[in-house]
Structure 1
Amino acid sequence: MLPFGNNDDEKAIERIVTIVTPQEAFLAAFSLHPAGVAVITGNLDDGTPAGFTATSLASFSATPPRATVNIAQHASSYSAVTLGKTVILHFLSRHQVNISRTMAGDFSERFTGDHWAPGLGGLPQLHGVRAALLATVVAVTEVGDNATIVFEINDGETHPDFPPLVYVDRRYHRVGDIVTN
């Protein structure tokens, strides 16, 4: 049994959680961990627009401004985020669930429609995002079948009035009430 605290009444409750393997524990824990939804776009070597939905985008350092994302090496857009490539990191707004799903779906369908246009650096840029950062891949660390990509931010634009899109419990959510200032 694992104890869980209740923030509303601060009473501890117990819930039985059956975990059989470390992988099941990992998947269960991270499904409970809220993450912002992002889309990374760039071009393949032949100029074809490429992109993917990511919930692993994270800040890495403020000086110099850098961010990271994780991706499977067999992903269809992996070659768009190799060393030296320039990309756009998009932070999705809560009204962009369909864009998130499109960019996570079939590769050939990701850039059909009017949800994007050439933008920062001439790269595919999504419309209506909360923020868009033009970045260069400065490091790639491959571990097993996956890789962590490090980006250095070159330029960007933000739209803080657009509420964020969040993913938790294998579903999309919007941010709720502010609990403290």
Structure 2
Amino acid sequence: MDITTTLTASAVPARLMAPTEIRDAYRDVLGKFCTGVVVVTARDVNEEPIGLTVGSFSSVSMEPALVAFFVGHGSTTFPKVREYGHFCANILAADQHDLGRTFARRGADKFDGVEWSAAATGSPRLAGAHAWIDCVVDDVHAVGDHDLVVGRITELGASAQREPLLFYSSTFHRLHPAGTP
């Protein structure tokens, strides 16, 4: 057997996992993927600030400049964001883990005591964020039990002095360069 055959044969699992096995392992396995923590903010029909924490955020395209995030179909905040038509993706800084938790909760006054300013679209830009990306909702697609939301960037900025907040294995973490404690 040559090396190509060996590599191909070893890459094929003995059996495929059953859907229930995949469901049971999903959160644990995908929790091993480190992500940034993003709070998506907008305004409701009364111009009151609204927001939610999202765990799946990504760059999409430079031309045109697009980003995207996923939000569960059960979200009570996202329909208001969609209706507003704009959002600001606030990439949280390492010391903003409390904001990550606050905006992940349902029903609370998430902006109580939170300092922010309006971005160009009017969406709240959270003070002290590592970076922010102001967008117009460009497209929304239902994908499984989530919606994929694509935003067209209108303005953005970042702080060179702030480190990002990371989420790994269901816990918030700070960034440390390789080889440091």
TM, length-normalised to structure 2: 0.81
Higher helix share: 2
Identity in percent: 23
Q: CA deviation at 1:119?
A: 3.8
Distance 1:154 1:134 in 2: 6
Q: Does 1:53 align with 2:53?
A: yes
Instruction: Give the C-alpha shift of residue 176 in structure 1.
Output: 1.3
Corresponding residue for 1:158? 158
Which residue of structure 1 aligns with residue 8 of structure 2?
none
Residue 109 (1) aligns with residue 85 (2): no
Query: Counterpart of 2:39 in structure 1: which amino acid?
Result: V
How far residue 84 of structure 1 moved from its aligned partner, in angstroms, is 7.2
Q: How do 1:16-165 residues align onto structure 2 when only pairs under 5 Å count?
A: 21-82=21-82, 85-165=85-165
Q: Mind listing any 5+ residue stretches in structure 1 that lack a counterpart? A: 1-18
Query: Could you tell me whether the CA contact under 8 Å between 1:36 and 1:165 is conserved in 2?
Result: yes
Q: Distance in 2 between matches of 1:155 and 1:46?
A: 24
When residues 119 and 26 of structure 1 are mapped into structure 2, their CA distance, relative to the original with a 3 A threshold, is same
Displacement of 1:91 after TM fit? 0.7
1:170 maps to which residue? Answer: 170
Q: Tell me whether 106-115 or 49-58 shows the greater mean CA deviation.
A: 106-115
C-alpha distance after superposition, 1:147-179 (max 9, x if no partner)? 000001011121122001000011001111147
Give unpaired runs (5+ residues) of structure 2. Answer: 1-17
Q: Secondary structure at the match of 1:25?
A: helix
Amino acid at match of 1:147: D
Normalized against structure 1, the TM-score is what?
0.81
Point out 4+ residue stretches in structure 1 off by more than 6 angstroms.
none
Amino acid of the residue matched to residue 92 of structure 1?
A: L
CA offsets 1:70-107 (integer angstroms, 9 cap, x no match): 00122121113327711111111000001111111133
What secondary structure does 2:149 align onto? strand
Aligned length: 161
* AA of the residue aligned to 1:39: V
Structure 1 residues 169, 112: closer, same or farther in 2, change over 3 A?
same
Distance verdict in 2 for CA 1:83–1:50, change over 3 Å:
closer
Q: CA RMSD in A?
A: 2.0
